[in-house]
Copies of this chain bind each other. A is one copy, B any other.
Amino acid sequence: MAEKRILILGGLGFIGKNLYETLSRQGHSVTLVADVVDESDSFLTADVKKNLVRGSILDGKFMEGLVEGFDVIYSLAGRSGASDSIRDPYSDLDRNLKGHLNILEACRKKNTSAILVFPSSRLVYGKPMHNPVSEQHPLNPESIYAIHKLTVEHYYLLYQRLYNIKSIILRISNPYGPYQKFGSNNYGILNWFIHKALTGEEIEIYGEGNQKRDFLHIDDLVAVLTSCITSSSMFGKIYNIGYGQGISVRDTVNLIVENVPGAKVRFKPWPEMDRKIETGDYISDISLIKRDTGWQPIISFEDGIKATIRFYEKSNA
């Protein structure tokens, strides 16, 4: 594959870091953008710092000056968290909606030849009416976060239609793996559970933990993201991205407990807001992305969990 000039917005986030490592290894020229940089972060090697630009997608002028010359732009910046978005809808509007309008307007003015990749979410479907969920499933977003993901999907499709800016939209299920934040369950319950297990805190399961999730290892997600560079059949399309199988939250925790000696678990009633926006079981139908690109996930949940536990054991040591 020829070397590409690649921009990762939100480059120091969970997906951004994993994607950076793979793209750099493949020989691409990768620029990372982040608005907040934690100087103590061990990810920040001399090489990474050389490729890092500080700035925010909220700054339209900054974005205009930035986007020129890139072949691919990953729009990973933004903030996760369905519950948080309900507590503070304005902040979600700025970060997760206006920020993307800035990216698109910057590209319209300065770079209409880039490929844009937007990570949407399974949450645009709301509570599934059936599983697995294909891209044709009705859209019933049940949080401000999910509503804005859907809005931004439409932004990207519109800019492709009006200005021929190539866009790819990925409705991602529940990714997990190295480099995920631990601050809250906004950034993936699985990593949150692993962190609790490793630090000796109680893992809290809401309700009975019966709800199934479609957990996807980040390496499998990164494989899709890198294929966006070369798969012109993906332009202007929306794809479900997941492992394609469901596992209950309780079984997930059991697997963590088996692999982390001394892990403690507590069952807890659903917090009011989380219960209201809980979607029930979710399993992706990933036939479309398989057919169009040949991609398929290869990391089993058991292998993925073990590898993730080992990564965090080492990085916490």
Contacts and interface: CB of A to CB of B under 8 A. Distances in A.
Interface of A: 86, 89-90, 93, 97-98, 101, 105, 139, 141-144, 147-148, 150-151, 154-155, 158, 161-162, 276-277
A105 B141 CA distance: 18
B142 A147 contact: no
A101 B86 CA distance: 11
Nearest to A151: B151
Contacts of A277: 162
Given A90-B101, A93-B101, A161 B147 contact: no
A276 B161 contact: yes
A144 B277 CA distance: 27
Nearest to A94: B98
Contact of A154 (B97, B147, B162): B147
Contacts of A276: 161-162
Contacts of A148: 151
A90 B276 CA distance: 32
Contacts of A93: 97-98, 101
A257 B103 CA distance: 47
Given A89-B101, A101-B89, A105-B89, A154 B158 contact: no
A238 to B, nearest CB: 12
Contact of A142 (B90, B139, B158): B158
Contacts of A144: 155, 158
Given A93-B97, A93-B101, A147 B158 contact: yes
A143 B158 CA distance: 7
Contacts of A143: 158
Contacts of A161: 142, 276
Nearest to A147: B154
Given A93-B98, A141-B158, A162-B276, 10 more contacts: A86-B162, A89-B105, A93-B97, A142-B161, A143-B158, A144-B155, A147-B154, A150-B150, A150-B151, A161-B276
A128 to B, nearest CB: 16
9 contacts: A89-B105, A93-B98, A141-B158, A142-B158, A143-B158, A144-B158, A148-B151, A150-B154, A162-B276
A193 B275 CA distance: 53
A108 to B, nearest CB: 10
Nearest to A148: B151
